[in-house]
Amino acid sequence: MASRSTSAAGKRPEQGASTEAGRPRRRAEQQRSQATRETILSAAFAEFAEKGFETASIRGIADRAGVQHPLITYHFPSKDLLWRATAEATFARIRQEWDEQAVRDTGLNPLERLRAEYGVLFRHTVRFPDFHRFMRQEASTHNPRLRWAADTVLKPLLDRLLPQIAAAQDQGLLPEVEPILFHYMMVSLTATLSEFGPEMEVTSGVPADRADVADAYWGLVDRVVFAAADQSGD
């Protein structure tokens, strides 16, 4: 009995060593899987922005991502689930950028915070010009994806911004209109360079993706919207 017990005890460290050795392998596999998902989502973002949901194809996304078609369906079983995951990833980036900005901008009044938050949204669209194109493809018609987006990714955005707009109105810093009207006016302003950039470059030779052009444009928005609103509240 003693010899069997000793023999069994001697095996335990080997099993533990095997488990320890397997952990780095699992972590590496998880990291590869996450990297693959991010590559697929980036390609899907571009595909949906350019072609819209109905015309976009899983094979087209696979070509953009440089992966085999079955790998996409392994991670995202349907095109609808892939579209939703793409939207969620996009808005998660925006919320993260807002939260990082908010930490730096404590103590701002409602108008100053709105200026900062719409500025973050604008800078995001400069880095990701497909953002407004991606949303516009589904926002132009009533479809299940628009309803899902309204409930899932747009509502948290509006729950964050509309109270700030109302607070600025209460302090006399913004015109008394439905807050949603001010919000969509600002959305249209943040979309200008991504939506009209190619046309602007053709008609004027001014590239919308140049840093100084983006700075000049947002400086104009700041003066026209926020500086004017701030002065009206004095």
Helices (H), the chain: 2-55, 58-65, 69-75, 79-104, 110-127, 130-139, 144-149, 155-170, 179-204, 211-221, 228-232
How does DSSP classify residue 154?
A: I
* Cα(1)–Cα(103) distance, integer angstroms: 65
Mean pLDDT value across the chain = 87
Q: Give the separation between CA 205 and CA 40, rounded to whole angstroms.
A: 34
Give residue 103's pLDDT band: very low, low, confident or very high (50, 70, 90). Answer: low
pLDDT for res 21: 55
Q: Is the pLDDT of residue 23 over 60?
A: yes
Give the mean model confidence (pLDDT) for residues 48-67.
95
For the purposes of burial, counting CB atoms within 10 Å of the CB of 49, is it exposed (0-12), middle (13-18) or buried (19 or more)?
buried
pLDDT at 91 > cutoff 90: yes
- Predicted confidence (pLDDT) at residue 142 exceeds the cutoff of 60: yes
Give the model's pLDDT for residue 87.
Answer: 96
Percent of the chain with pLDDT over 90: 70
Query: In degrees, to the nearest 5, what angle opens at C-alpha 153 toward C-alphas 208 and 124?
Result: 20
Amino acid identity of 148? W
Q: What is the mean pLDDT of residues 100-106?
A: 74
Instruction: Give residue 100's pLDDT band: very low, low, confident or very high (50, 70, 90).
Output: confident
Q: What is the pLDDT of residue 140?
A: 79
Mean pLDDT of 202-223: 94
- d(Cα 24, Cα 33) in Å, to the nearest integer? 14
**What pLDDT sits at residue 105?**
67
Q: Say which residue, 234 or 179, is predicted with more confidence.
A: 179
User: Do residues 186 and 120 touch, judged by C-beta distance below 8 A?
Assistant: no
| Length of the chain (residues) | 234
| Dihedral sign of CA atoms 111, 135, 75, 31 in order | negative
Handedness of CA 212, 218, 223, 224 (dihedral sign): positive
Per-residue pLDDT at 234 exceeds 60: no
Q: What pLDDT, on a 0 to 100 scale, did the predictor assign at position 94?
A: 93
Answer yes or no: is pLDDT of 19 > 70.
Answer: no
Residue 4 pLDDT more than 80?
A: no
Side-chain half-sphere CA neighbours of 73 within 13 A: 8
State which of 1-10, 123-132, 220-229 shows the largest mean pLDDT.
123-132
Q: How far apart are the first and last CA of the chain?
A: 91
Residue with tokens 């030779």: 205
Distance between CA 143 and CA 80 in Å, rounded?
12
Share of the chain above pLDDT 70, in %: 84
Q: Is the pLDDT higher at 101 or at 13? A: 101
* pLDDT (tens digit per residue) in 163-211: 999 999 999 999 999 999 999 999 999 999 999 999 999 999 999 989 9
CA 98 to chain centre: 11
